[in-house]
Structure formats: C-alpha cells, structure tokens
C-alpha cells in the first residue's frame, strides 16, 4: 500500500477541471476588479473522491500559473489527518487533541494565519481581537486572498464553532477574500454551519466519480507504478470510478488484457481501506446495511438481524439510533435528500461488491430481508406504497 500515491503529486492529478474552474473563475473576476457575490465555495465528496488532491491542485495553480502568481495570495489550512499531505507553506491542525484544548488550538491557528499574512507576531488577545488582525492582514495584501481549508469535517464541534465564529464568519464579508472548504458532507459531524454568510453566499460542488475515460487517464499517469489503463473498464465496474478505489483495485489486475489475480481479495482490501478509520463493531453495521439504497432506524433491524443471526427485536429503535448516529459520525454516511440516510456511494458499492464476491449467500440473504421488509410495508401502508414498492422491486432482482 505504501507505493500508492496518497500524498498529492501534481503530475498525477486528473480531471476535475470543471470543479477547479468554480474557484479560479472567481479569482479571475476579482483580478479584473469585478465583485463576486458567492465568495465561499465548498467541495463535498465521499472518502477517496479526490477532495484533498483537488484543493492541493488549486493552491498549486494559484501559486504557480502566470495569471495568478504574485497576484493572488493563497493560504492553505489542513485540518485533521491530512492524508494528501500539507504544502510546505501551509498550516496544519491535527485532530488528536483533547476536547478542552480546542479553543486554544483555534486561537493559535488564527495567530499563525495573521503571521502568514504579514501581521507580525500578534500579542495574545482573545480570538475576537485576533479576527481583526486576520481581516487587516487580508486587506494589507492589496490583492485577492484565497483561503483554502481542507478537512473541515475532521474536527470536533468545539473547534468548528471557533473556526466559524472567529474566522470564517467575520472574514466572509470581505470583498476580496475567497473561501474554499473541503469535506465529506455538507454539515460536519455534530455541527451545523450556523452563519448565513457561509450558507447563503456559497457555491456547493459535489465531486462525482470519474467517468471511464478519466479512470483510464488516471491509470495511464500511474503506469510507472505498474498500473495499466486497459484495466479501466474492470476497475470502473468494481469501484464505480472513485479515484482512491481505482488505484487500489487496479493493483490487483495484471496481464494484457488485464485479469483479476483475485477479485475477492482486491475488493476486500479496498473495502478495508475505505473503512480503515471505522472501529470493528461499526464496520459490521456498514457491511450489513450496504445492500440498502437508503436506511434509517426502522429499516435497520431485519438486516442487522440477518447479519448477526439474532432476532430482529434485539435491534430496538434506540439501539439502531445510536448505531445510525455513530455511522453518520464517521462521515461515511449522511442524510440523503428525502429518502433517508445513505452510505457514501464510493463505500457502499465496494462493500456490496466485496460481499457479493466473498460471501454471496449472506449478500443474498440481506437482499431477501430487505425485500421482505419493503414488500410488507408496501402492502401495509397504502399511503406510502409508491415509496416502498420500487424498493421491494429493486431487492427482488438479487434474490
């Protein structure tokens, strides 16, 4: 796994031009002296969708392309584990502190930002006054300032409250400051962005999986690591085109035309990587629920019962609610529009393919349980038949 390029390396960066243009066009407008209304841009995407790489690429282009070089100030702040690495001129706040330290941690960050903006060493006032230094620092640049914050959802609510209240919100009215935020979900864990400044004047970009030709291009650029662009169709089918899964799966294909060495092992390795930060009991719940297109406390019991071989009554509402909250806290699951909670598609597809390949009977039993549940609901609740019948039909095709 060490040989996989998880840390950003600009020659390997593929696609995402459209997503990059959202911010670069705003920077161009500011350079032309045109006002920009939505000065915040937020990039969302599941684990392995390439958010951190995209933000690093953005920082790289703002610093190195002639149209922006020395005309735009770009500041990079990495929060949490920063698996894509931190640029040499960036700031990093790891997510391994104890709870009570977060307010000080945030104040230290603001002080470092003020210094990066040329404000010298501010004294040690409270976070409220530090915001004044940061605002002044931005104004002193005399040019557009792009503040890139990666991993906003990696941090605890105590830190996010400070970040929003004393940094993002006070700076957001500044006409020459652009914010670029990256995270897996719209609202970070146990914290909802509260300031209208960040919600009403923001563009949201959801990073979709690569199309097959982009996967092919990605593998081509990684050919020095032994990956073959010809593997793209198989990789795409197994992992749905998410950049991280593409790389992991492609290492398990060899020959011309590429053949799986062991498809089951490839999918299991990819699934394990996607769930690497999830503790063992919770991992099982992700696997048990991966056949569902959406879930909530009322849909979970029959599947958890099949998975664990226990009666469905064992999985009561409060128990399922705790599990659901823990799953959402990993940011690998979130509320999905109006149908219920959904697992990240990048994760769900790999988990289900892993299950189908390595434990086909269990996989079928889970679909059977889901089919039984939704058929029962479609019959029992005529007011919601339109909602549950398509779900029953979906699961029926797999049993």
Partner 1 sequence: MAPSILSSKTWTTIEIPPRSVTADTDTDAKRRWFREELGLYFDPFALLDAGTDPYLPQYLVGQRAMEQLWGDWPSFLFAPPGGGKTAFRVWLTRVCRTGQDGRRILPVVLAPPRPEEPQTPLPWERYIEALSHAIAASLLLDLAYQPSSSLTPQSFPYPQLRPSRFFDLSEDERRLVRLVLERDLPMPLDYLLDQIADEGSLAPWSRTFDPPSLGLPNEPAAESLRAFCKAMRRAAPTPSSQLPERGEKTIQTLRTILGYSAVYLLVDEADAYIQDPKAIVRLLKPLWAKTTAWSRQAVFVKYFLPEEVRSKIPAKMLTGPTKCVIIQWEPETLVQVVRERLRIASEGMFRSLIAISTPDVNEDIEFQLARALQPPIPREMLRLLQRVFFVHLQRVGPYGRLQQEDYAEALAWYPGR
Total residues at interface with partner 1 (CB under 8 A): 60
| Site for partner 1 contains 335 (CB under 8 A) | yes
Shortest distance, CB of residue 309 to partner 1, whole angstroms? 25
Which pair of tokens denotes residue 125? 């006032």
Distance between CA atoms of residues 141 and 149, nearest Å: 19
| Site for partner 1 contains 359 (CB under 8 A) | no
| Site for partner 1 contains 187 (CB under 8 A) | yes
Shortest distance, CB of residue 129 to partner 1, whole angstroms? 5
- Of residues 136 through 155, those in contact with partner 1 by CB under 8 A are 136, 139-140
| Site for partner 1 contains 386 (CB under 8 A) | yes
| Site for partner 1 contains 379 (CB under 8 A) | no
| Site for partner 1 contains 109 (CB under 8 A) | no
Which pair of tokens denotes residue 232? 């793209």
In terms of CB distance, is 271 or 292 closer to partner 1?
292
Phi and psi based region of residue 246 (left: phi greater than 0; alpha: psi -120 to 50; beta: remaining): alpha
Shortest distance, CB of residue 108 to partner 1, whole angstroms? 16
Binds partner 1 (CB under 8 A): choice among 211, 298, 310, 360? 298
| Site for partner 1 contains 53 (CB under 8 A) | no
| Site for partner 1 contains 21 (CB under 8 A) | no
Where does this chain touch partner 1 (CB under 8 A) — which range of 16-24, 67-75, 81-89, 123-131?
123-131
Shortest distance, CB of residue 188 to partner 1, whole angstroms? 7
Binds partner 1 (CB under 8 A): choice among 25, 67, 128, 393? 128
- Of residues 311 through 330, those in contact with partner 1 by CB under 8 A are 317-318, 321, 325, 328
Shortest distance, CB of residue 195 to partner 1, whole angstroms? 6
| Site for partner 1 contains 133 (CB under 8 A) | yes
Crossing angle of helices 232-239 and 212-221, in 10° steps, is: 120
Shortest distance, CB of residue 96 to partner 1, whole angstroms? 23
Which pair of tokens denotes residue 123? 């004294």
| Site for partner 1 contains 115 (CB under 8 A) | no
SS3 letters across the chain? CCCCCCCCCHHHCCCCHHHHHHHHHHHHHHHCCCCCCCCEEEEECCCCCCHHHHHHHHHHHHHHCCCCCCCCEEEEEEECCCCCCCCCCCEEECCCCCHHHHHHHHHHHHHHHHHHCCCCCCCCCCHHHHHHHHHHHHHHHCCCEEEEEECHHHCCHHHHHHHHHHHHHHHCCCCCEEEEEEECCCCCCCCCCCCHHHHHCEEEEECCCCCHHHHHHHHHHCHHHCCCHHHHHHHHHHHCCCHHHHHHHHCCEECCCCEECCHHHHHHHHHHHHCCCCCHHHHHHHHHHCCCCCECCCCHHHHHHHHHCCCHHHCCHHHHHHHHHHHHHCCCEEEECCCEEEECHHHHHHHHHHHHHHCHHHHHHHHHHHHHHHHHHHHHCHHHHHHHHHHHHHHHCCC
Shortest distance, CB of residue 310 to partner 1, whole angstroms? 22
In terms of CB distance, is 155 or 273 closer to partner 1?
155
Binds partner 1 (CB under 8 A): choice among 51, 56, 166, 252? 166
Rg (CA), the chain: 23
| Site for partner 1 contains 70 (CB under 8 A) | no
| Site for partner 1 contains 126 (CB under 8 A) | yes
Binds partner 1 (CB under 8 A): choice among 6, 169, 319, 389? 169
- Applying CB under 8 A, the residues found at the interface with partner 1 are 35, 37, 122-123, 125-129, 131-133, 135-136, 139-140, 164-166, 169-170, 172-175, 186-188, 190-197, 200-201, 296, 298-299, 317-318, 321, 325, 328, 335, 337-341, 377, 380-381, 383-384, 386-388
């Amino acid at each position: 796994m060490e040989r996989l390029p998880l840390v950003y390396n600009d020659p390997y960066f593929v696609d995402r031009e459209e997503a990059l243009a959202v911010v670069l066009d705003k920077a161009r407008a500011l350079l032309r002296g045109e006002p920009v209304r939505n000065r915040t841009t937020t990039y969302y995407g599941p684990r392995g969708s390439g958010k951190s790489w995209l933000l690093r690429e953005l920082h790289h282009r703002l610093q190195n392309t002639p149209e922006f070089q020395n005309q735009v100030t770009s500041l990079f702040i990495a929060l949490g584990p920063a698996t894509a690495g931190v640029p040499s001129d960036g700031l990093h706040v790891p997510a391994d502190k104890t709870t009570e330290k977060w307010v000080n941690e945030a104040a230290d960050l603001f002080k470092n930002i003020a210094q990066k903006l040329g404000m010298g060493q501010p004294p040690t006032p409270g976070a409220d006054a530090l915001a004044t230094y940061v605002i002044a620092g931005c104004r002193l640049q005399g040019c557009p300032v792009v503040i890139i914050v990666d991993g906003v959802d990696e941090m605890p609510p105590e830190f996010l409250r400070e970040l929003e209240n004393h940094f993002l919100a006070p700076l957001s009215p500044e006409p020459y400051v652009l914010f670029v935020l990256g995270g897996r979900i719209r609202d970070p864990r146990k914290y909802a962005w509260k300031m209208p400044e960040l919600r009403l004047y923001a563009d949201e970009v959801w990073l979709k999986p690569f199309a097959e030709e982009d996967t092919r291009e990605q593998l081509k650029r990684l050919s020095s690591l032994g990956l073959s662009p010809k593997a793209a169709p198989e990789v795409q089918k197994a992992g749905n085109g998410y950049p991280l899964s593409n790389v992991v799966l492609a290492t398990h294909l060899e020959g011309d035309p590429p053949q799986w060495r062991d498809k089951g092992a490839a999918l299991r390795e990819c699934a394990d990587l996607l769930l690497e930060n999830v503790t063992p009991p919770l991992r099982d719940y992700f696997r048990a629920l991966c056949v569902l297109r959406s879930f909530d406390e009322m849909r979970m019991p029959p599947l958890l019962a099949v998975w664990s071989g226990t009666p469905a009554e064992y999985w009561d509402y409060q128990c399922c609610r705790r599990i659901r909250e823990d799953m959402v806290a990993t940011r690998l699951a979130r509320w999905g529009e109006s149908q219920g909670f959904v697992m990240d598609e990048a994760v769900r597809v790999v988990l289900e393919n892993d299950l189908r390949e390595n434990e086909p009977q269990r996989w079928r039993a889970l679909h059977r349980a889901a089919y039984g549940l939704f058929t029962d609901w479609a019959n029992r609740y005529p007011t919601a038949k339109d909602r549950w019948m398509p779900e029953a039909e979906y699961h029926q095709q797999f049993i």
